[in-house]
Structure 1
Amino acid sequence: METQQKALFIIFGGTGDLAKRKLYPSLFKLFEKGFLNENFAVIGTARRPWTDDFYRNVVTESLVGVSGDKTKIADFASHFYYQSHDVTDVAHYITLKKLADDLDAKYQIEGNRMFYLAMSPQFFGTIATHLGSQNLVTKNGFNRLIIEKPFGRDFESAKKLNDEIANTFDESQIFRIDHYLGKEMIQNIPAIRFGNIITQTLWNNKYIDNIQLTLSESLGVEERGGYYETSGAMRDMFQNHIMQVVSLLTMDMPKEFVASEIRKEKLKALEAIRILKPEEVDANFIRGQYGANKAGTEKAYRDEEQIAPDSMMETFIAGRLMIDNERWSGVPVYVRSGKRLVEKNTEINIVFKNVEKNIFGTSDEHEHLGKDVLTITIEPDERFRLTINTKEIGQGFNTNKTNLDYVNSPETKANTPEAYEKLLLDALNGIAINFAHWNEVAKAWNVADVILNSWHNNDDDKTIFPNYLSGSMGPEASAKLLTDDGNYWIYNPEK
């Protein structure tokens, strides 16, 4: 039997889409695997006037397709309780405390509490303040606050939010969820880098020419138009997911594999990323917004629901990051992310330098040696691929590219815990390795703010939207960003 934890989960936003799609299935998996047993309970809160029975039916329905064990599901759902709750009303926290204390005694939870804020970030500070002032934070067990993105809209708002939360919770109790950090292949990056003498030796500017990161989505904003119109690709993807992955790719090896040492090295990597001057933004970052596709079967962003007809919000970003330290000086890190692109794919490409001397010649009879590339595909496949030069079959010594390929089987993928399941278990056990520290969030905002301010506060901006077709790989300027350096996007499904 796996190690069991005792905990009371209080989910603010318990009727929302995130709770139903991710949290309840993930908690059930932990229950099914024995990480949670009898000594746990869940309180769902939201404005809706639901009963416990209605709430349990919602939880049960969220598990359709997750499990066919009706007895197990019923046992799991019996641990769920509901309170209609206005997060701004002090009286509701008094009621919530009574229910929490009663459940603590009923399930012998020993004061361990997990507060999950699965709702609008504008209420994070208010909720944290009331949890402290109304004594929902216990003195006899652990108390952990789990926060969804976005964490602020810029550095100033993020700092204000962090200061509010810090009045009740210290940094060791705060778990900022970035679900990319729960993905299996993202968690493989340290193993690839530091667990192999080949990569550990070559992972620097002496051997690596450039690094590329693509987070491609085939869908548009769908029903998230209201959120996206206030966020955009920069806030939605760059400041959190992209910067976290870049820090894992570029950090130095930690002294040991513990949260404090890993966070220390990630922060050093983020601090080394060059913060652009306003006049440098246009040469290093481009933005885009999708239009309709050629056939007219996909709507333009401006035609989506809850989107202004003249919106200047970006749905695509691409950029060149430079890292000013000894390991990475001169190595560009190219990043891009966008909606309504060719296909859904998240991929890292480590592009190595050419051999210094090509003994196979450069005449018409011989191909130039291509650059070696290590590809890590995060999703939808889970794949490692090393592309190297080999001899063509037959006479002569012409070279071509060969892939050394490994992909996780469908069976392996099916049995791999989902990102939220892994992150919830980490938070339950107090393991902070795969969560963002405030200092990391702050440094990421420092980099992003200059770009956002240049885009959204520049009266002279001549950007014309839309500037890419749905079903393409974004604006042409995205490719030019690399070709200007003599490089090109390795991942190119349009090719």
Structure 2
Amino acid sequence: MITNKQIAPTIFVIFGGTGDLNARKLAPALYNLYLEGWLPEQFSIIGTGRTQLQDEDFRKKLLEDINQFSRSGKAEKEKWEAFSQHLFYQVSDLNDFKTYKEFGTRIKHLETEWDTKANVIYYLAVAPNFFPIIADNLAKSKLADDSQRVRIVIEKPFGHDLESAKELNQLLMRTFDERQIYRIDHYLGKETVQNIMAFRFANSLLEPTWNRNYIEHVQISVTEQLGAGERAGYYDGSGALRDMIQNHLLQLLCLVAMEPPISFNADEVRNRKVDVLRAMRRFSPDDVRLSTVRGQYGNGWLEGKEVPGYREELKAESNTETFAAVKFFVDNWRWQGVPFYLRTGKRMHQSASVISIQFKEVPHFMFPPETADSIHNNRLIISIQPEMSIRLQVQAKRPGLDMILNTVDMVFDYKGTYSSEAPEAYETLLLDTMLGDQTLFMRGDQVEEAWDLIMPILTTWQGRKSLNFPNYSADSWGPETAEALIARDGFHWFTLPLNGKK
């Protein structure tokens, strides 16, 4: 079992220390890691930003953020005072080389005080246009020279398209080794997502049926009730395909479809994911027409409140999609011919992240004819949110004198099984960064393969303006054409009942 004794002294430099990501995710995650004994005895967190703050101002701000957003609730006075002594703030101009010299002075001071070399983690919680500027200045100021101890964490979006992703990879690789670069996708840190690998590869009864001979199709849905809101201006430069499918949903698909790794070594796991992306069928313009759907929400009512449409929030005309559904194929021995349906959207009826794996019908139906209408395919449902569960839907006889079959659930859910609270995704990923474990982080070639896969869709959509936007209302399941996409193959979209039960 890993302990904090195995974690080297660590210095976090958080670019964007006064921003929303640090407030909502990073600071609460680091505080929870501290509470549970996962931070090393010698650590320091340096927040940076343009805002003029003293250390005490910064600490006060983070206390308010942690009290509001931490899963552990409001900070206890004594524990907070001990933690806060490790928090510092530095006013910075990311374009000014002098700023980076000041970082170097701080780092040397801490290492002298601790009488040891420290791991240094640069966390880029800033807009993507600052990524190249920061990387270039870290290189010029010699703050990235120690490849054994220096790491850089980069939030999505990693590029805006294939070309920009390649350029960013090339820029980073001029300064850092691949083993120093942590491209973070918070979905991979979610407890249920990590359990996909455990569920698949630690249970011998699953692997013989995990292929095209038994699985009929796979669905991956990530839907949100929220609209773009105040982020509409930022979101308009992205859209659902870039924002969700290119990273989050394709990552989930890789975990479902990957071959068993030889070991849990980070590169071995990531190699198998890249294999999936390389095996996925590329799209022709005609494939885009037949196998993809895009949508944009209009106004409507959601939970008793009237909500505006996307264009009203943006205050402009826009052809950006807020909904995307795509049918993918993985052209390899295991999955040939099995469709993978991915969909994501805003202002949907439900906020949920669900993977549904539907198995084929039994080869021979031996039961009385009157039971034919009640029998359904077996289905494995992996729910990431709102509940965290894995349920296998099987057929069983209903109690009584007649042979009547119905669907029953064999359920593993976190709340019912474990008393301890699951860590937040950022807690897992920040700990892995300190440990130098890149298993849950994307490698450069993986990012480029994902972009390469969706570029034909993006190019086709950009070249063909949609004339029917908005084409779905708030509190719906998206455009009607999305249902038609899957109905043509004889299936329907799976939705998780709100109470998590069938």
TM-score category by the smaller chain? over 0.9
Larger displacement relative to structure 2 (316-325 or 462-471): 462-471
- In 2, Cα distance between the equivalents of 1:153 and 1:483? 32
| Percent of residue pairs identical | 39
The counterpart of 1:470, out of the listed 474, 477, 495, is: 474
- In 1, Cα distance between the equivalents of 2:466 and 2:127? 33
Query: 5+ unaligned residues in a row in structure 1: which ranges?
Result: none
TM-score by length of 1: 0.95
**Per-residue CA shift, 1:36-57, capped at 9, x if unaligned?**
2441111111111212221111
Aligned length in residues: 490
Does 2:38 correspond to 1:28? Answer: no
Match of 1:405, as an amino acid? Answer: V
- In 2, Cα distance between the equivalents of 1:207 and 1:258? 29
Does 2:63 correspond to 1:54? Answer: no
Aligned twin of 1:482: 486
The within-5 A match list for 1:129-168 is 129-139=136-146, 142-168=149-175
The counterpart of 1:351, out of the listed 358, 381, 385, is: 358
Aligned twin of 1:112: 119
Does 2:298 correspond to 1:298? Answer: no
Query: 5+ unaligned residues in a row in structure 2: which ranges?
Result: none
The Cα of 1:225 is off from its aligned counterpart by 1.5
**Per-residue CA shift, 1:54-81, capped at 9, x if unaligned?**
1111122222153432121122112122
Match of 2:57, as an amino acid? Answer: F
**Per-residue CA shift, 1:332-376, capped at 9, x if unaligned?**
000111111111111110100001111115x45643631100001
The counterpart of 2:448, out of the listed 418, 435, 442, is: 442
Contact 1:110 1:140 in 2 (8 A): no
- In 1, Cα distance between the equivalents of 2:496 and 2:416? 24
The Cα of 1:99 is off from its aligned counterpart by 2.2
Match of 1:103, as an amino acid? Answer: L
Contact 2:16 2:22 in 1 (8 A): yes
**Per-residue CA shift, 1:422-481, capped at 9, x if unaligned?**
1000010000111111111111001111111111122xx444111111001111111111
The counterpart of 1:195, out of the listed 202, 227, 233, is: 202
- In 2, Cα distance between the equivalents of 1:202 and 1:141? 42
2:408 aligned counterpart, secondary structure: strand
TM-score by length of 2: 0.94
Does 2:99 correspond to 1:99? Answer: no
Aligned twin of 2:48: 45
Aligned Cα root-mean-square deviation (Å): 1.9
- In 1, Cα distance between the equivalents of 2:41 and 2:374? 65
Does 2:239 correspond to 1:232? Answer: yes
Does 2:334 correspond to 1:331? Answer: no
**Per-residue CA shift, 1:103-156, capped at 9, x if unaligned?**
232344514200000001111111111101101225395011000000001000
The counterpart of 1:17, out of the listed 10, 13, 20, is: 20
The counterpart of 1:174, out of the listed 178, 181, 185, is: 181
The within-5 A match list for 1:198-277 is 198-277=205-284
Q: 1:161 to 1:429 in 2, by over 3 A?
A: same
The counterpart of 2:390, out of the listed 363, 368, 384, is: 384
Aligned twin of 2:435: 429
Contact 1:7 1:109 in 2 (8 A): no
- In 1, Cα distance between the equivalents of 2:46 and 2:310? 38
- In 2, Cα distance between the equivalents of 1:429 and 1:37? 11
2:409 aligned counterpart, secondary structure: strand
Contact 1:111 1:140 in 2 (8 A): no
Contact 1:289 1:316 in 2 (8 A): yes
Does 2:410 correspond to 1:404? Answer: yes
- In 2, Cα distance between the equivalents of 1:142 and 1:485? 52
The Cα of 1:91 is off from its aligned counterpart by 2.0
Match of 1:386, as an amino acid? Answer: L
Match of 1:59, as an amino acid? Answer: L
